[in-house]
Structure 1
Amino acid sequence: MRVLQVVPTLTAGGAETLAAELALALERRGHQVAVALLAGARGPRGAELADRLEQAGIAVSGRALLSMRRPHGALSLARTVRAFKPDVMHSHLYAADVVLAGVNALTVRQRLIRTIHSTSIQGTRSRAGTWLLDRLYATSVACGARVADAYADYFQGAQKSAIVTVRNGVAHATDPALAKSDHTGPADAEAQRIDVRASLGIAPDAFMYVHVGSFHGRTLASAPKAHDVLLTAFAQLRAHAWASRAHLLLIGDGELRDAAQQLARTLRIHDHVTFAGVLDNVPRYLAACDAFVFPSRYEGLPVALIEACLAGLPTITSALPEIAEVFGEGTHPAAPVDDAHGLAAVMLDCLQDPDAARSRAVRTAEHIEREFSIDLCAARYEAHYASLGAPIAPRVAAACVLRARGAPVPCAPSSDPLAVSKQSHQDIL
């Protein structure tokens, strides 16, 4: 099968990482895969992902493009579609959904598939655009069960695309593509931990909390990653006698980073918070930390959280259903959404009883390895790719020929995958 993955950019974001890892997993499973970018590979993480794809023999088009506000991305995608001749075209994120739908309507008119990466179905976009995309895509894939529920609730049963659920997956450290030649023992790991902290200007004996997420949104008070809640909670934590050596590492960048830094200064915690920006080799930094904090206001099925769990880090989150989905039936420390005081209390519990936190983290890592493999994710996508069927144009042409001959046009049977309910697809998975 020839599969084209379409994303706006390659960056450090969870959706972009998922798209790249999915492309690599599909290639390992014997498919021919290409990745089309509409606005290039950005930052060290984007370059790293693009390099990995190309080293695996996966063509990456549009790597040097710079802006989504010009037609270059759409033109580059159209050229890629003509040259690659994909059997399946799969988009990630709203901008890619829009551009791919437009290019497809003017060219091959295939049945399209996209992934919905958040429970905020409309977000800041127009309602008309959200409804139109639902009708232009044959299949909308929710990255988790809560996202599927949010999609069904948004459309109140009036959606046209088939809504199915394929949970996000991550690449394990044991995967060949991620294997390290310099395997380290406990002594070397501790030395590396100290070196990483030294490179960030953080004391080796600090209790180090870490968050990975972009600083995107309209305001800090409404942004999905809730950095304002995290900084406020950390300020409250620092006031406790137990937390005199607590430090917070924030990995990520975006337009709200300056506002977050100003809030840290206002809270007088700026000397104990490191804004590291986008970092290469994030697992190396996770290994140098003591706990992962994730107080999001809404999510899809967060790749950053799954990666932290897989790394064996104790996790502290907001009490979102889409986050609870990561942990399955297991329990995990969580605070209500937007509750800085509750988050500070849970962070303090982790600091005061690190052995119990690490014991929970070990059990969680075992669960993540079983349930969130990128290869399992790729296998589930394969099944839905196969269900898309022939392009629209041939089906329409065939129907016209039958009508011209006076023959009845067959209706799709009730077993057609495109007519299966969301719950049926979830049962299959």
Structure 2
Amino acid sequence: MKVVHVLNEIRHSGAETMLASAATFLMGKAPAIVVSTGAEIGSYAERLKRAGYKVIHIPYARSPLFWLRIFRMLREESADVLHVHTERASPYYSVVAALVGIGCVRTIHNEFQFAGILRLRRLIWRQLARLSGTVHVAVSSRVARNEKSQFGCDTLLAENWYDPTRIQETTKERRLLARNCLGLDEESFVAVAIANEGPSKNLEALIKAIELCNNDMSIRLLHCGAHGEELKATADRVPKGAVSLMGTVDDIGLYLAACDAFVSPSFYEGGPIVLMEAAASGAVCITTRVGCAVDFEGLKNVVFVDPSPQSIAEALRQVARRPRESRSADGQQLAHAMRRRFTPEVGASRYLEIYRQAFTKSRRYKERLTDAALESVE
């Protein structure tokens, strides 16, 4: 099978990093092309090219000419399956795939909370795609439940994965080295958050929680991710030095090795890969019950909170009271659980099954069966 992936601008984000890490497992059985539909091709495109993918740029436009270009590209590339990762205009890709006669897979990467007219429109979109033969896929059990309850959409489950070569399990020596590198003393309790400052990330509540904890413990928050003036103004209200905005960082493993707890206070997520990465490092993970987090139920070093400052602050205090040796031992078990379940090999195998399922529903597959039957008769 030959698979074409449709993305927005190709950035260092979830779908892109999963494609890069799973290239070895996917390309042998399903050679793939990645199409960027952003205004710019995107900074992560070169990384995907190095991984072995052919990358094409077809900027999205509200014009029949855009869909004609997609149609021609699928024909010229002899695609067997179209894999859509975007929410924008998603049902129209399903229609184009049906016209070409190939299979179509749509991955839903987030727990969309549309309401009113937007929800009704998405419900119609999902049903139109289904009638066109599209196989819908959810990246976590919560996303699957949300799709069913919100839009009446049945989905298959293919859990997100992280890159095991990017994150190492934290040892005592690695922790000490990371702390020295970041200029952190041994006594401070260090929390790390890795997220953009979108409203769903709930970073204001996290900073407020740090302020609450600062009254009775020595605590620091290192926030890794792009930030603007609004987040900076919120951080400036906390006593000096308690919150550090690090900006976008290349090596999140350094921060995960140095931290005492990773905190994800989001209101909603899809299958946050950064949470998997934090767990794979062995860090204590303080998280709301979003996305794949609910699938961590019962695992050691995972602490669930409400998205309120008070709940987050109390969890931070509880973790700080635990001996570091206990946290480290539980972290080893958590890291091993991640390496068994959320790996590129497991995820790629699941998608190969789904591609086969989508392809066998397609007109092109049926034409190939007919051709093969005629050849055998001759």
TM-score over 0.5 for the pair: yes
Q: Aligned equivalents of 1:179 and 1:320: distance in 2?
A: 22
Are residues 1:4 and 2:8 paired? Answer: no
Cα deviation for residue 390 of structure 1 reads 5.0
**1:174-323 → structure 2 map (5 Å cutoff):** 190-195=176-181, 197-198=182-183, 206-216=188-198, 223-240=199-216, 242-243=217-218, 246-253=219-226, 257-266=228-237, 268-269=238-239, 271-320=241-290, 322-323=292-293
Q: Aligned equivalents of 2:105 and 2:271: distance in 1?
A: 18
Q: Aligned equivalents of 1:275 and 1:75: distance in 2?
A: 45
Cα deviation for residue 337 of structure 1 reads 2.4
> Which blocks of at least 5 consecutive residues in structure 1 are unaligned?
217-222, 399-429
Q: Tell me what 2:328 maps to.
A: 358
Q: Aligned equivalents of 2:35 and 2:97: distance in 1?
A: 14
Aligned partner letter, 2:222: L
Are residues 1:343 and 2:343 paired? Answer: no
- SS in structure 1 at match of 2:241: helix
Aligned partner letter, 2:306: V
Q: Tell me what 2:82 maps to.
A: 89
Q: Tell me what 2:103 maps to.
A: 111
Q: Aligned equivalents of 1:369 and 1:163: distance in 2?
A: 25
- SS in structure 2 at match of 1:34: strand
Of the structure 1 ranges 9-18 and 304-313, higher mean CA displacement relative to structure 2 is found in: 9-18
Q: Tell me what 1:403 maps to.
A: none
- SS in structure 2 at match of 1:287: helix
Q: Tell me what 2:31 maps to.
A: 32
Is the alpha carbon distance of 1:238 and 1:189 closer, same or farther for their aligned partners in structure 2, counting shifts above 3 Å?
A: closer
- SS in structure 2 at match of 1:388: helix
Aligned partner letter, 2:37: L
The answer as to whether partners of 1:5 and 1:35 remain within 8 angstroms in 2 is yes
The answer as to whether partners of 1:209 and 1:249 remain within 8 angstroms in 2 is yes
Q: Tell me what 1:426 maps to.
A: none
Q: Aligned equivalents of 2:85 and 2:33: distance in 1?
A: 14
Q: Aligned equivalents of 1:54 and 1:321: distance in 2?
A: 29
Q: Tell me what 1:220 maps to.
A: none
Is the alpha carbon distance of 1:69 and 1:395 closer, same or farther for their aligned partners in structure 2, counting shifts above 3 Å?
A: closer
Q: Percent identity?
A: 24
Q: Tell me what 1:148 maps to.
A: 144
Cα deviation for residue 116 of structure 1 reads 1.3
Aligned partner letter, 1:59: K
Is the alpha carbon distance of 1:26 and 1:120 closer, same or farther for their aligned partners in structure 2, counting shifts above 3 Å?
A: same
Is the alpha carbon distance of 1:392 and 1:384 closer, same or farther for their aligned partners in structure 2, counting shifts above 3 Å?
A: closer
Write the deviation string for residues 207-241 of structure 1: whole angstroms up to 9, x where unpaired. Answer: 3211112222xxxxxx221111111111111111x
The answer as to whether partners of 1:38 and 1:96 remain within 8 angstroms in 2 is no
Cα deviation for residue 371 of structure 1 reads 1.3
Write the deviation string for residues 366-388 of structure 1: whole angstroms up to 9, x where unpaired. Answer: 11111111211111111111111
Q: Aligned equivalents of 1:123 and 1:292: distance in 2?
A: 31
Q: Aligned equivalents of 1:179 and 1:291: distance in 2?
A: 16
Q: Aligned equivalents of 2:87 and 2:76: distance in 1?
A: 24
> Which blocks of at least 5 consecutive residues in structure 2 are unaligned?
369-378
- SS in structure 2 at match of 1:61: strand
Aligned partner letter, 2:200: P
Aligned partner letter, 2:147: Y
Is the alpha carbon distance of 1:380 and 1:333 closer, same or farther for their aligned partners in structure 2, counting shifts above 3 Å?
A: closer
The answer as to whether partners of 2:206 and 2:265 remain within 8 angstroms in 1 is yes
Task: Give the aligned length.
Answer: 360
- SS in structure 2 at match of 1:271: coil
Q: Tell me what 2:373 maps to.
A: none
Q: Aligned equivalents of 2:34 and 2:252: distance in 1?
A: 23
Cα deviation for residue 187 of structure 1 reads 5.5
Q: Aligned equivalents of 2:115 and 2:261: distance in 1?
A: 30
Cα deviation for residue 41 of structure 1 reads 5.2
Q: How does the TM-score come out when normalised to structure 2?
A: 0.82
